[in-house]
Amino acid sequence: MTKPAAPKRHLPTSPFKAPVAPAPKHFAVGDQVTHDVYGLGRVIGIEDGTAVLVNFGSEQVRIVSPYAKMTKL
């Protein structure tokens, strides 16, 4: 099955609740984070809300927004 090209519209007359958009994630320098691929790390830089630079110990990785696989601890 394929994913639809456009998000589904919510009609005002629908008996179902409208989907809630997730809040954007905000990170600050020094925040401890976990990433699904790289593991535990610490934010060492921020690029105008579009990307963050994270030190994972063995490597530094630039992670681009929307940060789907990264969460703040």
The CA distances from residue 21 to 24, 34, 45, in Å, are 9, 22, 26
DSSP letters along 10-27, please? --TT-SSPPPPPPPPP--
Confidence of residue 4 (pLDDT cuts 50, 70, 90): low
What average pLDDT does range 14-26 have in this prediction? 79
pLDDT exceeds cutoff 90 at 37: yes
What average pLDDT does range 13-38 have in this prediction? 86
